Amino acid sequence: MPQQPANPEPVPDFDSMLSRKFGKEVANYFSGSPLNRVGFLRGDHQFLTQALKHPSTDFLLCNELQPLVKTEAKDRLAWVKFDDVKGVVGEDPYKSTEGEMLGLYNSTTYVPQMIFLGIDEKAQDALSYQGKNMYKGAPRFAVDVTPRASAKAECEKLISSLQGRKLEFAKGRVMDVVASDGTSAPTNEAPLTDPTVSPSSLARTGNPSATPLTSLQAAIYAEARQLLDWNARNPFCAQCGQPTLSVNGGFKRTCPPKDLARINSKSSTGVSNALSNVAEANQDESSRPPCATRQGVSNLCFPRTDPTVIMAVVNHAGDRILLGRQKRWPPYWYSTLAGFAEPAESIEEAVRREVYEEAGIYVGRVVIHSTQPWPYPANLMIGAVGQANPDGETVDLGNDPELEVAKWFTFDEVREALRVGTSGLGEDAGAEYKEGGLRLPPSTAIANQLMTSVVNGFVSGQPKM
Amino acid sequence: MPQQPANPEPVPDFDSMLSRKFGKEVANYFSGSPLNRVGFLRGDHQFLTQALKHPSTDFLLCNELQPLVKTEAKDRLAWVKFDDVKGVVGEDPYKSTEGEMLGLYNSTTYVPQMIFLGIDEKAQDALSYQGKNMYKGAPRFAVDVTPRASAKAECEKLISSLQGRKLEFAKGRVMDVVASDGTSAPTNEAPLTDPTVSPSSLARTGNPSATPLTSLQAAIYAEARQLLDWNARNPFCAQCGQPTLSVNGGFKRTCPPKDLARINSKSSTGVSNALSNVAEANQDESSRPPCATRQGVSNLCFPRTDPTVIMAVVNHAGDRILLGRQKRWPPYWYSTLAGFAEPAESIEEAVRREVYEEAGIYVGRVVIHSTQPWPYPANLMIGAVGQANPDGETVDLGNDPELEVAKWFTFDEVREALRVGTSGLGEDAGAEYKEGGLRLPPSTAIANQLMTSVVNGFVSGQPKM
């Protein structure tokens, strides 16, 4: 039996009918994790305790969301052992059940964030755990070792010892290279209100040698980063404003009914707004005001992922692609249009809306091509190919003027640029590139994959993906 | 020029190459809104003020998220005019700019939630507005008239007057019919931790006569419901715990730097948790503690949509579909498997993970079929077809035992059930259905659309979607 969910990209090809009909699946950068997440074990603290301390277990450390890498081989994640992190996370962080943890909750206690990432089923001498089935694999965790609050000293001590072992935290995005001006690339998130830049179009790996993380490592780091970031940026309940507790291996935040910090604390008066009608519970000094997320299930307790559309739009004749550029991009550098999906619209509708808003083009049929997780901070890029209607091909930048230019390029122009003109935003184009020619994002960007599929026959001919 | 973004389903078919190659696009229930959202005008209060008071403008009212409908024709949304709602929303709610509103923010003031839904460009005698382009259409708003806080009396007065006009608020889900036991269907959200039930599989419209809202109305209501719900369930900032202000036509919540309610208020001590290091600003009694969402752009300020996978899994031979059922469903009733996408995985990976977790099946190639917005509360259903690997077709319910049964059905069995056995969960199957035969969800469910495509040749033959 192949260990399919734990399978690295490329997707195993058993020559299925779907493969023959639709072509090979495109596995984008940041997808293709080699781990089986075994998410159903996240609430099992007996499993997590065994997993934490097994000799096969490895820990990915992050400092301000940047992963630990080898100083002399920055293209590789560095993993450490439980002995390294136990000063930070404690000897037995999963000794209480989730229910017990709720009863012991104290909002003034800082707990360094830990994420259970999954198990590597291909590892040797791995943990065997008998749950409802038997699971065998080497556990993988991520730990936030940013020096802060009560963990400051222990984190600093650990970081210092890592430096002695020639390990350091990466700078910039994991697929960044040093920018052409010698500075490292900015780590800011792509602005959410700037839908014309696909975050993917900011990928900076033009060729394999410029990729600090392999795609397998990038997929693991993406999981770690997105979960650590979500926990760090959501310490309060959006429903009631009270501090929350991370549970379920870091995949859930719950609003505890009690908080030991409230005992003899002025802060127990709680929060309020125009809708609050907060009656203090009488039975226990530690009781907090009621919160709707404690009844039933609320999506607010679960990690957030923002669906984003990115699309190669083809003209009706089927021989040109619509590309756009922002003023701040390098000369001649273009990419596909992109933007966030809005509430209550299908992806197909979001594609048509975004292309209309940004370029005034009216798109008919939309086909979804492939998807890409993008952990800056929490995007799911949904790549599509759309075809313009014959009477809707005139560019109009007047609605939502995010783009400096949007224009149609012939398949031949795009094909040539894919061959000689791809690079990250901060990189030089390749040696064959001639000044004035079209420049495009690198192959790690889904924008590149979409264009590659289109010029290779996605729309009209046989799929050659 | 066709008014494409404002176009109703079905998608206009200009016989594009994509249509010829991939077949006609499937437009699922809740998609296909007839409105152009003109999202770039949401921050323009001059536009919103004109839009609010134009004679062509209509308002969709919701009470506890249920839409106003005609008592004697419950299959139709009821729209009202500005004169009806001005007692609730005020004469001039957009008179201040967003910047001015931030300066005037008082968290103890209740403002009934209003959403700018878009413009209907096909309406007669519509508003013309000269922005960067000229926009012409009849504006549409949604207003929360749930009697609460300082708006209680005005809302009750309005609701009472509506009853006199034979208008009332719908009960149950908009596509619900009265359940077979005579009770109305439950309105609870599908549990997020129950990934085996696609929310879509709960759709209850087996035939057109049982559909209270047309698909165009359902798409408008979906936008209204998801935005009203998001605003109502996110009154506090998840980053800092302080109350937030709805702006941008209801599409953004911002964390104001000041709150007039803090002046002479005990509540100005603010919120805290283990990470707080809140220094009170000195320059102004109304100043609030700093919040990271005020620098740059934070996704926490924007509406949340949860990507969900739902998939028709075909066996490797290409003649059977994997379906599952939950214990609480009616006898013989099955649907496709479904579940929430997790952070940092592609949709293709999420499909493989969910099918492995729920049924022990190992899926290879995955193709995305179509998508469906699902506003209970904020799902984006991403429908896919996957094909099992030849050595991974044995059902195993042991990993995450959400399903009572998962099994393979022949295309012929599914084809027959699509003909005679579809209905909502609470409905009787049709007249031709014979006890013991397979029962399936109705055509408003994307699960039904996926199965229909598969048995009509999506995997192996020519697409006949």
Report yes or no: B440 and B421 within 8 Å, Cβ to Cβ. Answer: yes
Does A229 fall in a domain?
no
pLDDT single digits (tens) A353-412? 999 999 999 999 999 999 999 999 999 999 999 999 999 999 999 998 889 999 999 999
Q: Are residues B347 and B447 in the same domain?
A: yes
Nearest by Cα to B161 from B228, B81, B232: B81
Does A462 fall in a domain?
no
Last residue of a domain, one of B275, B301, B327: B301
> How far is residue B354's CA from residue B375's CA, in Å, rounded to a whole number?
22
Stretch A5-29: mean pLDDT, rounded? 73
pLDDT (0 to 100) of residue A191: 32
Give the best-scoring range by mean pLDDT among A188-197, B46-55, B202-211, B429-438: B46-55
Q: Which residues of B touch A39 (CB under 8 A)?
A: 342, 353, 357, 400
Interface of B with A in 75-134 (CB under 8 A): 107-111, 132-133
Q: Which residues of B touch A310 (CB under 8 A)?
A: none
Closest chain A residue to the Cα of B230, Cα to Cα: A343
Nearest to A372 among B341, B346, B373 (CB): B346
Does B178 fall in a domain?
no
Tokens representing residue B403 in the block: 């399903």
Last residue of a domain, one of B170, B192, B216: B170
pLDDT (0 to 100) of residue B274: 79
Q: Which residues of B touch A27 (CB under 8 A)?
A: 346, 348
* B296 contacts: CB under 8 Å, gap ≥ 6: A188, A189, A191
For chain A, the residue count is 465
Test B14 with A133 for CB contact under 8 angstroms.
no
Q: Which residues of B touch A344 (CB under 8 A)?
A: 30, 33, 219, 222-223, 225-227, 373, 375
- B344 in A contact zone (CB under 8 Å): yes
pLDDT (0 to 100) of residue A279: 52
Residue A172 in this model has a pLDDT that exceeds 80? no
Closest chain A residue to the Cα of B341, Cα to Cα: A305
* CA-CA-CA-CA torsion sign (A29, A30, A31, A36): positive
Does B21 fall in a domain?
no
Give the DSSP letter string of B322-337. EEEE-TTSPTTB-B-E
pLDDT (0 to 100) of residue A75: 64
Under the banding of pLDDT at 50, 70 and 90, the label for residue B425 is: confident
Domain count, chain A: 3
Nearest to A307 among B269, B305, B392 (CB): B305
Test A233 with B239 for CB contact under 8 angstroms.
yes
| Reduced 3-state DSSP string for A100-127 | HHHHCCCCCCCCCCEEEEEEECCCCCCE
Does A10 fall in a domain?
no
Between A151 and B200, the higher pLDDT residue:
A151
Nearest to B356 among A4, A243, A380 (CB): A4
- List, in sequence order, every residue forming a beta bridge with A309; answer none if it has no partner: A339, A382
Between A396 and B460, the higher pLDDT residue:
A396
Residue A428 in this model has a pLDDT that exceeds 60? yes
Nearest to B398 among A132, A148, A387 (CB): A132
Instruction: Please provide the average confidence, as pLDDT, over all residues in chain A.
Output: 87
pLDDT (0 to 100) of residue B72: 81
pLDDT single digits (tens) A112-136? 999 999 999 999 999 999 998 999 9
- A37 in B contact zone (CB under 8 Å): yes
Residue A9 in this model has a pLDDT that exceeds 80? no
Rounded to a whole number of angstroms, the distance between the first and last alpha carbons of chain A is 27
Q: Are residues B258 and B166 in the same domain?
A: no
pLDDT (0 to 100) of residue A151: 97
CA angle at residue B15 from B10 to B17, to 5 degrees? 115
Test A238 with B242 for CB contact under 8 angstroms.
no
| CATH (domain of B367) | 3.90.79.10
pLDDT single digits (tens) B355-396? 999 999 999 999 999 999 999 999 999 999 999 999 999 999
Residue A432 in this model has a pLDDT that exceeds 70? yes
- B319 in A contact zone (CB under 8 Å): no
Test B236 with A16 for CB contact under 8 angstroms.
no
Stretch A192-221: mean pLDDT, rounded? 52
Q: For tokens 């990432």, name the residue.
A: A117
Q: Are residues B312 and B297 in the same domain?
A: no
The ipTM assigned to this model is 0.90
Instruction: Please provide the average confidence, as pLDDT, over all residues in chain B.
Output: 87
Last residue of a domain, one of A153, A170, A187: A170
Test A239 with B234 for CB contact under 8 angstroms.
yes
Test B18 with A292 for CB contact under 8 angstroms.
no
Residue A299 in this model has a pLDDT that exceeds 70? yes
Q: Are residues B363 and B421 in the same domain?
A: yes
Does A324 fall in a domain?
yes
Test A16 with B316 for CB contact under 8 angstroms.
yes
| Listed range (A167-181, A444-458, B78-92, B202-216) with the worst mean pLDDT | B202-216
Test A342 with B390 for CB contact under 8 angstroms.
no
Under the banding of pLDDT at 50, 70 and 90, the label for residue A44 is: very high
Residue A198 in this model has a pLDDT that exceeds 80? no
Report yes or no: B53 and B148 within 8 Å, Cβ to Cβ. Answer: no
Q: Are residues A144 and A264 in the same domain?
A: no
- A60 in B contact zone (CB under 8 Å): no
Share of chain A above pLDDT 70, in %: 83
pLDDT (0 to 100) of residue B13: 55
pLDDT (0 to 100) of residue A177: 32
Q: Are residues A289 and A318 in the same domain?
A: no
Interface of A with B in 213-232 (CB under 8 A): 219, 222-223, 225-227, 230
Does B341 fall in a domain?
yes
Amino acid of residue A201: S
Q: Which residues of B touch A11 (CB under 8 A)?
A: 348, 364-366
Quote the domain boundaries for residue A100: 31-170
Q: How far is A431 from chain B, CA to nearest CA, in Å? A: 33
Q: Are residues A295 and A376 in the same domain?
A: no
Q: Are residues B311 and B267 in the same domain?
A: no
Does A445 fall in a domain?
yes
Q: Are residues B394 and B293 in the same domain?
A: no
Instruction: Give the CA radius of gyration of chain B.
Output: 24
- A377 in B contact zone (CB under 8 Å): yes
Test A364 with B12 for CB contact under 8 angstroms.
yes
pLDDT (0 to 100) of residue B426: 81
Report yes or no: B364 and B387 within 8 Å, Cβ to Cβ. Answer: yes
Q: Establish, for the pair of chains A and B, how many residue pairs have beta carbons separated by less than 8 Å.
A: 405
Residue B122 in this model has a pLDDT that exceeds 50? yes
Test B344 with A226 for CB contact under 8 angstroms.
yes
> How far is residue A253's CA from residue A235's CA, in Å, rounded to a whole number?
8
Q: Are residues B369 and B344 in the same domain?
A: yes
Q: Are residues A385 and A411 in the same domain?
A: yes
pTM of the model: 0.91
Share of chain B above pLDDT 90, in %: 75
Q: Are residues B318 and B286 in the same domain?
A: no
| Listed range (A128-142, B167-181, B294-308, B380-394) with the worst mean pLDDT | B167-181
- A399 in B contact zone (CB under 8 Å): yes
Instruction: Give the CA radius of gyration of chain A.
Output: 24
Pick the residue of B253, B365, B456 with the most A CBs within 10 A to test the interface with A by mutation: B365
| Listed range (A160-174, B48-62, B162-176, B206-220) with the worst mean pLDDT | B206-220
Closest chain B residue to the Cα of A307, Cα to Cα: B307
- A269 in B contact zone (CB under 8 Å): yes
